[in-house]
Structure 1
């Protein structure tokens, strides 16, 4: 009779951090991720993908992007905020949005959030429709198999369940502190060294 190891089965379930926000620890050495807040769109045994939420982009503007992609109308009826989603494929756009609107190719991250990488969502937003809340990220943060899990064990990140304001509001300067506050953590009290018992 074969026995399964329940500890192994539940250690890292598929989708472990999908729909969560990663908060960079103050000791984060990589300047691309210092004080970053990253929404995890997918986390499986094959790796993880997320979008940095607190790195706003001034140029290109949404208008510039629509012109470049030949999406009408320009100027758009509705604007969307742009951010630098991460260092991987930073010419590619991903719209993180509330799941009240989905299109062909939309990936439902959780009950309230979806991710769309097609031009359809930009066209609908430019016309004044689309999801109630959204942000356009250029590029993404990516991790290979087991890489994010290893970084979590090394205390590079904390994680928390986000709220809609944290995901979509424009207050980028306070987003990192607000994410930590959801965990009731004062960043000044965090240690730079990891402890292992």
Structure 2
């Protein structure tokens, strides 16, 4: 997470953008993944996969952390109970991160891009469970990280497509179609993309 703190002192050109894995992606952990870049600088990059769902449910996490007991978790409003927990990446897989709109701020909240922040403390989970959380939010366990120059090399080697990240596509819960919808938003034909990636 030092990458995140350092990178956001000087906003990198990929901050707040989507990365879409190209069809030729060699690392199966990232196949057809959509990653939201939270931090990017000369020291490296950090992002969250937003189109993979964890088996663990939000209520289970709240109970494990002692935010709620099992009875309170059962009584949560349906909207909160159905809050998706996503698989953010292979780094620190037991640690939670909440990407959210900037209407919720604490001392531990870090700005990511215009109107988007990241909070990694239990306080925001408590706020969400009590209906006092941000207007828009998504939660992941784990994150994706790159060393200095690594992400730039992967992009140059045809590993990733990049594009702006509309808020509605970032926060919506239609996980299964997200990759294809973002390609369509970019005006990319998946069949042509596959043929280009085959020559990488």
Task: Measure, in 2, the Cα distance between the counterparts of 1:19 and 1:180.
Answer: 17
User: Structure 2: where are the runs of 5+ without partners?
Assistant: 1-9
**1:174: Cα distance to partner?**
0.8
Task: Measure, in 1, the Cα distance between the counterparts of 2:140 and 2:62.
Answer: 14
Task: Measure, in 1, the Cα distance between the counterparts of 2:119 and 2:100.
Answer: 8
| Cα RMSD after superposing both structures | 1.5
Higher-Rg member (1/2):
1
Of 145, 149, 162, the match for 1:146: 149
Provide the TM-score with structure 2 as the length reference.
0.86
Report the 3-state secondary structure (helix = DSSP H, G, I; strand = E; otherwise coil) of the residue aligned with 2:28: coil
2:16–2:37 Cα contact (<8 Å) kept? yes
In the alignment, is residue 184 of structure 1 matched against residue 190 of structure 2? no
- Superposed CA deviations along residues 94-150 of structure 1, whole A, max 9, x for unmatched, are 001111112221111011211100011000001111101111100000000000000
Of 18, 28, 49, the match for 2:25: 28
**1:194: Cα distance to partner?**
5.2
In the alignment, is residue 66 of structure 1 matched against residue 62 of structure 2? yes
Of 42, 46, 52, the match for 1:45: 42
1:52–1:83 Cα contact (<8 Å) kept? yes
Partner of 2:140: 137
Provide the TM-score with structure 1 as the length reference.
0.88
- What count of residue pairs does the alignment treat as equivalent? 182
Report the 3-state secondary structure (helix = DSSP H, G, I; strand = E; otherwise coil) of the residue aligned with 1:29: coil
